[in-house]
Structures are given as C-alpha cells and as structure tokens.
C-alpha cells in the first residue's frame, strides 16, 4: 500500500519533529526511523527530507550543527528547539482533530 504524496508531505513536519524530540539525529537516521515507525509503508524519497529539515531550521524549529560522525565523516546533526517543541505540540493537536474525525466516521461506517 502506498501512502499518497500529499499525505506524505503533510505528515513530514510532525514526523521529523517527533523523531527529533526523541533525541538529536541526522538525515539518514531519520529516514531509517520513519521506515521503522511505519513498517516501511511510508515511502519517502530520501532527498526530500533535507529541504524539509532546512525549512524547519530556517523557521527556527530545529537547530543544526556539523560534527564528526563515528566514521570520522562530517555530518550535520539536528536538534529540536523550544519553538520546535511548541510547533510539534500544535501539529499534534491538529492531527488529533483529523484522526478523531476520521475515526468517528469509520466507526459509524462499521456499525451501520
């Protein structure tokens, strides 16, 4: 099952912020975590993660730092900021509204 493109795009920000709220991370690890969380059913084009990260950085929701990885290569690590946490909380509420509404209609469809 493929999740639609629009839905993937809409869920990208809360997913990335949520993952960073678990702890600092970098691009490749975030992609892996998304695959793990969705059981591989949420397919991101890998490259598309980075513009999302950069946009969040620009908006001040995440902060980034270049530092050496375990392999010695320079890697850009991302950390969620306080503004990012506030944003995450807001997004979470929005998604809960959507989720609640969808559940409501599907429950009715089941019982009907």
Partner 1 sequence: MTSFADQPLEEQIAQWRAYLRRRQGVDGPDVEELEGHLRDELAALTQAGLAGDEAFLVAIKRMGSLDALSREFALAHSEGLWKQLVIGPGADEPAKTSHTETLVVLGLAIAAALAIKAPALFGLRIGPDEELPPFYLRNASLFVLPLLAAYFVWKRGAEVASGLWLALPFAAGAVFANVFPFRTGGDTEALTVLHLPIALWLVVGIAYVRGRWFAGDGRMNFVRFSGELVIYYALIALGGGIFTGFTVIMFEAIDVNAKWFAAGWLLPCGATGAVIIGSWLVEAKQSVIENMAPVLTRLFTPLFTVLLLAFLATMAWTGSPINVQREVLIGFDLLLVLVVGLVLYAASARDPQAPPGFFDGLQLLLVVSALVVDGVALAAIAARISEFGFTPNRVAALGENLILLVNLAWSAWLYARFLRHRGSFADLERWQIAYLPVYALWAALVVVMFPPVFGYR
32 or 103: CB nearest partner 1: 32
Q: Binding mask 32-51 vs partner 1 (x if CB under 8 A, - otherwise)?
A: -------------xxxx-xx
| 82 lines the binding site for partner 1 (CB under 8 A) | no
Q: Is 106 in the site for partner 1 (CB under 8 A)?
A: no
Residue 34 CB, nearest approach to partner 1 (Å): 12
List C-alpha distances in Å: 64 to 20, 50, 86: 11, 12, 18
CA 38 – CA 27 distance, rounded (Å): 17
Q: How far apart are CA 96 and CA 44, in angstroms?
A: 22
């Amino acid at each position: 099952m493929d999740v639609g493109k629009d839905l993937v795009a809409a869920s990208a920000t809360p997913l990335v912020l949520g993952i960073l709220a678990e702890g600092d991370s970098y691009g490749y690890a975030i992609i892996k975590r998304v695959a793990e969380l969705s059981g591989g059913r949420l397919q991101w084009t890998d490259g598309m993660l980075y513009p999302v990260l950069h946009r969040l950085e620009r908006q001040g929701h995440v902060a980034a730092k270049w530092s050496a990885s375990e392999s010695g290569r320079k890697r850009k690590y991302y950390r969620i900021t306080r503004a990012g946490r506030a944003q995450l909380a807001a997004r979470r509420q929005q998604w809960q509204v959507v989720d609640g509404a969808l559940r409501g209609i599907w429950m009715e469809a089941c019982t009907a």
